[in-house]
Chains A and B, each alone.
Chain A
Amino acid sequence: MKKGKPNPKANRNILLFTYGIVGLFLFMCVYFGYFIQVQSEEVINNPYNSARLNRFEERIIRGKILADDGTVLAETLVDEDGSETRTYHYGDLYAHVLGYSSVGKTGVESLANYYLLSSHTNPMAKVLKQLADEKSVGDNVVTTLNTDLQAVASEALGDRKGAVIALEPETGKILAMVSKPAFDPNQINEQWESLINGDNAEALLLNRATQGLYPPGSTFKIVTALQYMREHSGTYNEYQFDCDGIYEFENFKIQCYHQNAHGTEDFKTAFANSCNGSFSSLGQEMDLDGLKSLSEQFLFNQEQPLSLPYNKSEYTMEEGAPEWEIAQTVIGQGNTLMTPMHNLMLVSSIANGGMLMKPYVIERVENTDGELVKKFMPEQYGELMNANEAKALKELLELVVTEGTGSALRTDAYTAAGKTGSAEFEKEKETHAWFVGYAPAEQPQIAVCVLVEEGGSGGQAAAPIARKLFDEYLIP
């Protein structure tokens, strides 16, 4: 065969290409190594990966879940014959936040599944145990939960249905999370069938704190008030309204709670008194597109920065809505629905100068000897409003306690701030009682959201529960 024309450059180009490809593959190997070494831990701790993580259970005894003070909330006890029982020492008290791990996984049991099933003890000992076919003990997960607050919250809510949540506005640490009615995670296997087939109204498995959707009632006036202040910046203090308990539109009426006549009010007192007539009337001239976009900025219709399972809050009113719908929506009735956790995030971002910290419940991971494996730091979600707006809202929320519906929180020990709500959801039934707030007003250390289903007025049913949490947390 004849030889082709020699092309001296061809070999150089082949060599260049070869170097390029080898470089590309080395880079890909480094990328892969980085994934395995650094990223994989976070990636694989995912409920969608449960099939693989469950295989770890064959090698690892599930670690403990601890409260922030080291109290053991959940641990796996091993019998002499090697059979394991997941034991929750406080029964139903932490049911929803800790979750369960045997029939699927929820709560912290799901969030921390990977950590509970990894062992960071001496690697040599681990290999030896593997060779001997013995199980290692998984790492312990320390939560942000405060045992005293959790107990007080549960006791204060009593037998009523609802949710009580507390978090630290500056960091987003979840301090307490109670949802009632609850289930006993120790009995989850035995009761599973009746839990999933049981009475819908009871919905024992539902975490009302993050998944329960309720009309926000007057707590929504926080959003309406901010929109009004945005539209009338500088002049909103000139607002005046005469309230005789019932405000009449052309075809319908809006009542204040129990038809209380509030008399002559300015903007701040209307907010403090939670005057429905006043808000319904000022809502009529409001820029509804602006209200909708503010709501969405406040995470209505949006994904929320929560790792626990949650439901999205809903806000539907559009520009051009009828007078009646406007009157209802601006006072938190209408079609709007939100979860207690969402409401708590709103108020804690106000407490934190507009910056929302991502709520989190896992504080750190320790090995069985108590050495730190991984620590979780507070993370900013973003500013829901600017600092001036947060300051203006704080002023309003303080007035609610000092002069308005939040009288249950008046005390010399600290100054609280917040907003009550009494949300109608069905005719002929008592309203849902809401309270969202924080304390101390000057330097907020704790934000609380209380929702009592069919509890009546927010000021009378919900605010006293918040008071108990504040007292417990702030009074030494």
Chain B
Amino acid sequence: MTNLVVEISRYLIILLIAIYTYYNFRFFSMNEEEDRNFACGRQLVCMFMLHFLAYLVIVLNTKSEALMLFYGVQVLFFVCYIFLTRIFYKRVSRLLLNNVCMLLCTGFIILTRLNPERAMRQFVIVAISAVVTWIIPFIIDRVWQLVKIPWLYGILGILILAVVCVIGNTSYGAQLSLTIRGISIQPSEFVKISFVFFVATMFYRSTQFGHVVITTMVAAAHVLILVLSRDLGSALIYFVTYLMMLFVATSNWFYLGCGVLSGAGASVVAYKLFAHVRRRVEAWRDPWADIDDQGYQVTQGLFAMGTGGWFGMGLYQGVPEKIPVVENDFVFAAISEELGAIYAICILLICVGCFVQFMMIAMKMQAMFYKLIAFGLGTMYITQVFLTVGGVLKFIPSTGVTLPFISYGGSSILATFVLFNIIQGLYILKRGEEEENEKR
């Protein structure tokens, strides 16, 4: 009987995530408010059913009452979070809210499977982050002084990164985190947001050549410090974000060309200069050559995804724990192994869906400042998704960044909550404007 439930759930979960993803894109072609609400409602039904089935399998496999309770708490959290957000912010983007919950839900499922203790810690962080970042849309909507303090963002960002670079803890050869009273935080996750604000405020003021040079220098300082900390994944994310924001702010193809060329040049220099960069590139080009050491993580990821196939092995049927740092950088491989490649592709599409929404909001915003904020944060988000998933798929060399909202890690969760809630704030702001215009 258990086997029957487990096997049927395996296919149902895939069906549910596929329907969810379908509505995610169908949504964009709907114009009526009523249709859109209907689609979002269906999405929630899918999400809660999927969540239930996954935890049913988890509980059947572990026979753990604690996990049963954990499931209950999660349901309570999701219901409250969705319900209260919609009450407090009437104009919230339901689609984006759903996507946040779907990604979190997937994160909880796979982390519970991999390491229940960490899943519970993750849940606590999620709950705290959800409450703390609750206020952000409110601030965005009302506090326009945010645009007045570019140098605060810029200097603060550089200072924090510099501190991490000098006294940070080293993990996997990079200085990433600070430990304060036993809590390890990764400041570069938060500096991402101040960085986007800095660039947006600077370009909002002026896009004259001299101004662009100054902004570029400060942005370059961020990137250089990250390179010195050997956090090349973040350095790349900052670089791409800056370059694209510069391009959108100035519409200057020459800047874009120079940026791409200097980026390519810097990559070559980094390859020549740093042994760890060469190792990553080698492990990407031919992971089989050094399968015991440098290629181990990539090949184990490929084994996991390949063995799982389209429909996955089923929860607890695979061996994702064989993959090093599976809960962080390689969580995508674990999802694909046990929940199936279809599920993993759906997650990828949901991330792209979020990005498309960010870009639509950016296009709708009239003020250049808000436009650049939405655009910059969206670029930052999708670059990170691309780097982590591309690295796991051996599409690009692995850079060791996390999958937002799914990977284990407190700083990443909190920063992603901040990011999404800023976007929600912009959306709410824009809808407020539109509704006022209609009234007139």
- How far, in angstroms, from A5 to B250 measured CA to CA in the complex? 11
Known A-B contacts A4-B204, A51-B319; A36 and B367 likewise in contact (beta carbons under 8 Å): no
What distance in Å separates the Cβ of B305 from its nearest Cβ neighbour in chain A? Answer: 7
The size of the chain B interface, using a CB distance under 8 A, is: 52
Chain B residues, CB < 8 A from A6: 366
Contact B382 A13 (CB under 8 A): no
Judged by a CB distance under 8 angstroms, whether A427 is at the interface is no
Chain B residue with the shortest CB-CB distance to A39: B306
What distance in Å separates the Cβ of A121 from its nearest Cβ neighbour in chain B? Answer: 17
Contact A43 B302 (CB under 8 A): yes
Q: Which of A20-36 contact B (CB under 8 A)?
A: 21-22, 24-25, 28-29, 31-33, 35-36
Judged by a CB distance under 8 angstroms, whether B417 is at the interface is no
Contact B249 A10 (CB under 8 A): yes
The size of the chain A interface, using a CB distance under 8 A, is: 43
Judged by a CB distance under 8 angstroms, whether B322 is at the interface is yes
Q: Which of B345-364 contact A (CB under 8 A)?
A: 345, 348-349, 352, 355-356, 359, 362-363
Judged by a CB distance under 8 angstroms, whether B37 is at the interface is no
Chain A residue with the shortest CB-CB distance to B337: A52
* Among B317, B341, B368, contact of A33 (Cβ-Cβ < 8 Å): B341
Judged by a CB distance under 8 angstroms, whether A201 is at the interface is no
Segment from B70-78, B173-181, B258-266, B389-397 that makes contact with A: B389-397
Give chain B's interface secondary structure class.
helix
Over the window 27-55 of chain A, the binary record of Cβ atoms lying under 8 Å from chain B Cβ atoms (1 yes, 0 no) is: 01101110111011101101011011101
Judged by a CB distance under 8 angstroms, whether B318 is at the interface is yes
Judged by a CB distance under 8 angstroms, whether B248 is at the interface is yes
- How far, in angstroms, from A53 to B248 measured CA to CA in the complex? 50
Chain B residue with the shortest CB-CB distance to A29: B345
* Among A29, A35, A52, contact of B307 (Cβ-Cβ < 8 Å): A52
Chain A residues, CB < 8 A from B362: 14
Chain B residue with the shortest CB-CB distance to A130: B7
Q: Which of B303-349 contact A (CB under 8 A)?
A: 303-307, 309-310, 313, 317-319, 322, 341, 344-345, 348-349
Known A-B contacts A4-B369, A28-B395; A49 and B248 likewise in contact (beta carbons under 8 Å): no
- How far, in angstroms, from A350 to B244 measured CA to CA in the complex? 60
Judged by a CB distance under 8 angstroms, whether B3 is at the interface is yes
- How far, in angstroms, from A130 to B6 measured CA to CA in the complex? 10
What distance in Å separates the Cβ of A51 from its nearest Cβ neighbour in chain B? Answer: 5
Chain B residues, CB < 8 A from A11: 363
Contact A25 B386 (CB under 8 A): yes
Contact A55 B341 (CB under 8 A): no
Q: Which of B266-310 contact A (CB under 8 A)?
A: 291, 299-300, 302-307, 309-310
Chain A residues, CB < 8 A from B386: 21, 24-25, 28
Contact B8 A4 (CB under 8 A): no
Known A-B contacts A3-B367, A9-B251, A130-B7; A14 and B375 likewise in contact (beta carbons under 8 Å): yes
Over the window 174-190 of chain B, the binary record of Cβ atoms lying under 8 Å from chain A Cβ atoms (1 yes, 0 no) is: 00000000000000000
Known A-B contacts A33-B341, A36-B309, A43-B303; A4 and B368 likewise in contact (beta carbons under 8 Å): yes
Contact B306 A55 (CB under 8 A): no
Contact B318 A1 (CB under 8 A): no
Judged by a CB distance under 8 angstroms, whether B4 is at the interface is yes
Chain A residues, CB < 8 A from B291: 48
Judged by a CB distance under 8 angstroms, whether B192 is at the interface is no
Chain A residues, CB < 8 A from B305: 32, 35-36, 40
Contact B319 A131 (CB under 8 A): no
Which residue of A2, A3, A11, A132 has the most chain B CB atoms within 10 A of its CB atom? A11
- How far, in angstroms, from A49 to B389 measured CA to CA in the complex? 21
What distance in Å separates the Cβ of A298 from its nearest Cβ neighbour in chain B? Answer: 23
Q: Which of A416-459 contact B (CB under 8 A)?
A: none
Chain B residue with the shortest CB-CB distance to A52: B307
- How far, in angstroms, from A460 to B302 measured CA to CA in the complex? 52
What distance in Å separates the Cβ of A122 from its nearest Cβ neighbour in chain B? Answer: 17
- How far, in angstroms, from A1 to B313 measured CA to CA in the complex? 54
Chain A residues, CB < 8 A from B375: 14
Chain A residues, CB < 8 A from B83: none
Contact B366 A22 (CB under 8 A): no
- How far, in angstroms, from A17 to B319 measured CA to CA in the complex? 38
Judged by a CB distance under 8 angstroms, whether A15 is at the interface is yes
Contact B341 A32 (CB under 8 A): yes
Over the window 1-35 of chain B, the binary record of Cβ atoms lying under 8 Å from chain A Cβ atoms (1 yes, 0 no) is: 00110011000000000000000000000000000
What distance in Å separates the Cβ of A5 from its nearest Cβ neighbour in chain B? Answer: 7
Over the window 259-288 of chain A, the binary record of Cβ atoms lying under 8 Å from chain B Cβ atoms (1 yes, 0 no) is: 000000000000000000000000000000
Contact B345 A35 (CB under 8 A): no
* Among B299, B319, B348, B366, contact of A29 (Cβ-Cβ < 8 Å): B348
Please list 16 pairs of residues, one from A and one from B, whose beta carbons are closer than 8 Å in the complex, sorted by A's number.
A7-B251, A10-B249, A14-B248, A14-B371, A22-B352, A22-B356, A25-B348, A28-B389, A37-B310, A39-B306, A40-B302, A40-B306, A43-B303, A49-B307, A51-B322, A52-B304
Question: Which of B's residues lie within 8 Å of A, judged by CB?
Answer: 3-4, 7-8, 144, 147, 204, 244, 247-249, 251, 291, 299-300, 302-307, 309-310, 313, 317-319, 322, 341, 344-345, 348-349, 352, 355-356, 359, 362-363, 366-369, 371, 375, 379, 382, 386, 389-390, 393, 395
- The 8 A-B residue pairs whose C-beta atoms are closest, nearest first, are A4-B368, A40-B306, A9-B251, A1-B144, A49-B303, A133-B3, A44-B306, A52-B307
